[in-house]
Structure 1
Amino acid sequence: MFACAPANHPTPMPPPHRTDPDTPATDWHAQELLLMREVMKLVGRSLAPAFVLREMLHLMSELLGLNRGRMVLADEATPGTSGAERTASVRHAYGLTAEEAARGVFRWGEGITGRVLASGLPAIVQDVDAEPLFLFRTVARAQLPPQTVAFIALPIEVNGATVGVLACHRIRSRQRHLNDDLALLRILATLAGQLLQLEQLVAEERRQLAARNQALEHALDVGSARYGLIGRSPALLRALGELERVSQSQATVLLLGESGTGKELFARAVHLASGRRDQPFIKVNCSAIPDTLFESELFGYERGAFTGASTARAGWFEQANSGTIFLDEIGELPLAMQSKLLRTLQEGTLVRLGGTREIRVDVRLVAATNRDLAREVQAGGFRQDLYYRLNVIPIRLPSLRERREDVRALALHFVSRANQAHQRNVNLAPDALARLEAHDWPGNIRELGNLIERLVLLADHTLVTAAALERFMPTALDRAPPAPASAPIPPALPAAGGLVRDYLSATSHDAQTLQDALTRHQGNQSRAAQSLGLTLRQFGYRLRKAGLR
């Protein structure tokens, strides 16, 4: 303990107990017991330090005459702050105005309060008027009683470190021993430290619970996502709701939407939500099958049906029997095959290539396209009767621009998957996730997934900030303008006369024009063909003629 007294004067002793014959003596022991009992009631009623500490200062004044009590607590240190620059402020007070309490800010080592903060030792000032270190910062001397005023300050400790000061004014001529006040104040300072420590523990527990909840939410979005579809945006949930309502029926489902919106995952979700979930799920990309192989791939072939057919083979429809078949990019199906597909869908039978026997199949069809099949029908590129057969239950899949709430969950999922696949430990900072959410993503989920994989492989640091992310973000030169799913560029229509395409010679487009179309559409032959008013087969034929394959 260090004590401050008037310079060149011996430390005065507290006056002995004196009793005015006309005034009954104060039972200080009873007052102390009453104070402690009331404080404990407060603690039992609420563990919030702010409430208990304010009432504690009130009781100190009312019951013991320890006036203008205040709790000076350390301010949060900013990064780079030195020990000498640390400050503490009056947080709780009784008998101080709001203006007086606001002035109570002390640096470590400044004045009596600052010395208690720096040393961790109590301080007793017998006479504030005679102590040069006393600052009168909160209360001016003129606002204090004219008698000799003492000042008592005790450290408040948490885990062995001084975090604050319990201080008060005391009229020195009171009929009560100073040591009695010190003993009680030590108990109250210890209790204040325990309450503050408890507050820190509760705050830390809350932070841990918040982090755990965030991890659980992420796990729900990623690990337990319905049917592997990640996200909770209204647009996604609406599409999922439509999917689940029709999953138990046998009706054909047509998935519509831009390229990269996750049609295959939705098709698998239709299968998993149906009664066929334990049966085969066969996926077929119609744009990847050459025209000459469509029939044998979809419906199979018999032995000897063509050169090299040494054995019979079941097609995709037979392999999907009792299950689900997913025909992706069904708009690329040749017209000749469209009629055979329609027959299989209507009658539930098929005939293998080179065969004569009808084979019955029970298959649920899910089809997908990023093209406007209604306009394709008008242009003569798709059969009207097949379109009506497919368009029983159309479900539009939202683009990623309509699912900004899901970008964060998707990005974290792709980061986790890429880290596992490539043995990396890359993470995204909050500002990087915000930057990803702000992007328009014309390439949809596929573009986001590809960017994340590239980032995981090439990132210089394990924590990727928005600034570091910027060099991986696509620019206007990196991408061609997207072709909207709702309005693909149709082939030119005849001026009059219906559904027959204009005749175009095999030399209608030179090699440079074909190459430019491919470059504009990043090698996507379907879109390049559409932009030139050609079918995919016409475009492919011209590529071969030009020697560009």
Structure 2
Amino acid sequence: MKLTDRTGVGADNHTQGMELLALHRITELIGSAVDLETTLQKILGVLENTLQMERATLLFLDKVKQKLVIRASCGLSAHEELRGVYNLDEGVCGKIFQTCSPFVVPDIESEPLFLNRTGARTRVSRSKISFLGVPVVVGGNPEGVLTVDRLFGDEVFFEEDVRFLTILATLVAQFVMLHREIEKKEARLIEENQSLKAKLHQVHGDHFIIGHSKPMQEVFSIIDKISSSNVTALLLGESGTGKELVARAIHEGGSRKDKPFVKINCAALPETLLESELFGHERGAFTGAHAERPGRFELADGGTIFLDEIGEMPLALQAKMLRVLQEKQFERIGGSRTYDVDVRIVAATNVSLELAVEEGSFRADLYYRLNVVPLVLPPLRERNEDIPLLFSHFLGKSNERNNKQIKLTSELLDFMITYPWPGNVREMQNLVERMVILAENDRLTLADLPPNFFKTEKPPREVEKKNEAIVQRTVEPKRKSLQEIEKIEIEAALRRNGWVQVRAAKELGLTERQIGYRIRKYGLNRYDSFR
């Protein structure tokens, strides 16, 4: 129907005031909106409460079904909403959608296009109802229809109502566009977050290497570079830094990932048993050898063998290990048959093999064969920024295992970041499990920490005390300068640690960069020290 003013006069000041009030309330709703459907429903509620526009509905295009369906309403039951489905060219709503123009039905009883598909008007006298609808245009294209019911009366002005509803439909369209942009942004953030997690949490089966600090990014970079090759890798670092996880990452990142990953701790077994575990034995080779048994190298054929604590391997076994590295061949204990194996070797140690070579407890030729690609795993105290991420990961896993929902306080997290973690990641994992199991509340605090945690001093402070004592003993009688004392102590630490800078720095409580700077500053040289 062509728009006309039923009374022929404009809206009075009171009507304009109510419209402004309604718009003010609606803009407040949109400004604080979170959920699309809930906000749209509240907007329609304002129409009824402020302007007496009843049974307001917002229909939107279902792009899959190619039909107009009710997304929000006021005054309709859920069952009535479900019935409000229209073809794109059906009834008044279809006409509004197709023509992208407003439509007014002064008397729904006399309008054949008015279908009353919802059945919502059966509860009231249909002879006193008008029906108004305007299109909702998003980005220049019709996407929906906004409709309301009006009661007959001289105070009703259709043109003013349509003008107001058109303004409201524009606001709704902008709100829908904003909501879609937010959804797109959230989708991008989720995708980026998943991508970031994939980088921070290098997943290898059920194993996680977690960290976004610079030292860990360097570790990830080396893993990526060597995984695809068969090069021997030597993992260095303190106990508990995750050397086995890195070994698995190297294995599963390469072409051997579908083959066995076999591990053995060289420090956990005496020499005779270790040789049997590594290379196997024949029946009757020694007392108790009632049957032949393949060794770990045979079991790892085609895959990877992880030799943990390689620095503790007895000298007598090292020669046989060197042959396996060089020729990929060995014999079982008590046998003469030579076995050929295709095995990638990843070794790990928390001691200085260079120092062990100088002391004569480790073969130099084996060391050089193992030290093809050394990979130093940083201690946890040197990657503080990873601590919140690691703690959160272990807390989530422990909550899952123990069927709890425990969280941590910021006070505890601050303490975790400053704690030196002498046991590194393994210590943190065990601590979190203990705290979750023994927790009496739903939040972990400093009170949940074991008492010994407050007695542990940072390694740098221990070294600082030691240096203070040295200074007190040295300065008084000899009157040396602090620089001379520092030079003497650094050179002495280097000598004690076989000139391995990492170990000397650890003893002195310095970083590798700090000790390197002092070595250059004082012109220290291992060869000069023997003159």
TM-score by length of 1: 0.49
Question: In structure 2, what is the equivalent of residue 386 of structure 1?
Answer: 366
Distance 1:412 1:218 in 2: 16
Q: Residue 274 in 1 paired to residue 254 in 2?
A: yes
Question: What is the identity, as a one-letter code, of the residue corresponding to 1:343?
Answer: R
SS at match of 1:456: helix
Gap regions ≥5 residues in structure 1: 1-26, 51-186, 495-549
Q: CA deviation at 1:43?
A: 11
Q: How does 1:386-425 map to 2 (within 5 A)?
A: 386-425=366-405
Question: In structure 2, what is the equivalent of residue 474 of structure 1?
Answer: 453
Question: In structure 1, what is the equivalent of residue 214 of structure 2?
Answer: 234
Q: Residue 290 in 1 paired to residue 237 in 2?
A: no
Q: CA deviation at 1:243?
A: 0.9
Distance 1:424 1:259 in 2: 30
Question: In structure 2, what is the equivalent of residue 326 of structure 1?
Answer: 306
State the aligned residue count. Answer: 317
Distance 1:319 1:267 in 2: 17
Change in CA separation of 1:269 and 1:220 when aligned onto 2, cut-off 3 Å: closer
Question: In structure 1, what is the equivalent of residue 436 of structure 2?
Answer: 456
Q: CA deviation at 1:433?
A: 2.4
Distance 2:377 2:495 in 1: 25
Question: In structure 1, what is the equivalent of residue 320 of structure 2?
Answer: 340
Q: Residue 351 in 1 paired to residue 319 in 2?
A: no
Change in CA separation of 1:218 and 1:335 when aligned onto 2, cut-off 3 Å: same
Whether the aligned pair in 2 keeps the contact of 1:451 and 1:472 (CA below 8 Å) is no
Change in CA separation of 1:244 and 1:214 when aligned onto 2, cut-off 3 Å: closer
Distance 1:480 1:214 in 2: 38
Distance 2:443 2:258 in 1: 42
Whether the aligned pair in 2 keeps the contact of 1:221 and 1:409 (CA below 8 Å) is no
Distance 1:383 1:308 in 2: 31
Question: In structure 2, what is the equivalent of residue 9 of structure 1?
Answer: none
Distance 1:352 1:389 in 2: 22
Match among 229, 240, 251 for residue 249 of structure 1: 229
Show CA shifts across 1:392-442 (max 9, x none). 000111111122222122112222222333344422233322332232212
Question: What is the identity, as a one-letter code, of the residue corresponding to 1:458?
Answer: L
SS at match of 1:374: helix
Show CA shifts across 1:477-530 (max 9, x none). 59999999xx9x999899xxxxxxxxxxxxxxxxxxxxxxxxxxxxxxxxxxxx
Distance 1:408 1:492 in 2: 36
Regions of 4+ moved over 4 Å: 27-50, 209-227, 470-473, 477-484, 489-494
Whether the aligned pair in 2 keeps the contact of 1:401 and 1:444 (CA below 8 Å) is yes
Question: In structure 2, what is the equivalent of residue 446 of structure 1?
Answer: 426
Question: In structure 2, what is the equivalent of residue 431 of structure 1?
Answer: 411
Change in CA separation of 1:491 and 1:353 when aligned onto 2, cut-off 3 Å: farther
Q: CA deviation at 1:458?
A: 1.4
Q: Residue 307 in 1 paired to residue 287 in 2?
A: yes
Change in CA separation of 1:217 and 1:425 when aligned onto 2, cut-off 3 Å: farther
Gap regions ≥5 residues in structure 2: 1-8, 33-163, 464-490, 499-531
Distance 1:366 1:213 in 2: 34
Moved more, 269-278 or 440-449: 440-449
Distance 1:493 1:404 in 2: 26
SS at match of 2:306: strand
Whether the aligned pair in 1 keeps the contact of 2:306 and 2:347 (CA below 8 Å) is yes
Change in CA separation of 1:373 and 1:224 when aligned onto 2, cut-off 3 Å: closer
Q: How does 1:118-197 map to 2 (within 5 A)?
A: none
Distance 1:333 1:228 in 2: 28
Question: What is the identity, as a one-letter code, of the residue corresponding to 2:402?
Answer: H
Whether the aligned pair in 2 keeps the contact of 1:375 and 1:490 (CA below 8 Å) is no
Question: In structure 1, what is the equivalent of residue 354 of structure 2?
Answer: 374
Show CA shifts across 1:232-261 (max 9, x none). 222112101101101111110000111110
Question: What is the identity, as a one-letter code, of the residue corresponding to 1:237?
Answer: Q
In terms of fraction of residues, the more helix-rich structure is 2
Change in CA separation of 1:244 and 1:219 when aligned onto 2, cut-off 3 Å: closer
Show CA shifts across 1:31-73 (max 9, x none). 99999999999999999759xxxxxxxxxxxxxxxxxxxxxxx
Whether the aligned pair in 1 keeps the contact of 2:235 and 2:375 (CA below 8 Å) is yes
SS at match of 1:229: strand
Q: CA deviation at 1:300?
A: 0.5
TM-score by length of 2: 0.51
Q: CA deviation at 1:348?
A: 0.7
Whether the aligned pair in 1 keeps the contact of 2:407 and 2:442 (CA below 8 Å) is yes
SS at match of 2:453: coil
Q: CA deviation at 1:263?
A: 0.4
Question: In structure 2, what is the equivalent of residue 85 of structure 1?
Answer: none
Show CA shifts across 1:305-334 (max 9, x none). 112211111011111000000000000000
Whether the aligned pair in 2 keeps the contact of 1:344 and 1:350 (CA below 8 Å) is yes
Moved more, 451-460 or 31-40: 31-40
Whether the aligned pair in 1 keeps the contact of 2:200 and 2:212 (CA below 8 Å) is no
Change in CA separation of 1:477 and 1:298 when aligned onto 2, cut-off 3 Å: same
Fraction of identical pairs, as percent: 42
Question: What is the identity, as a one-letter code, of the residue corresponding to 1:474?
Answer: F
Q: Which has the larger radius of gyration?
A: 1
Whether the aligned pair in 2 keeps the contact of 1:284 and 1:328 (CA below 8 Å) is yes
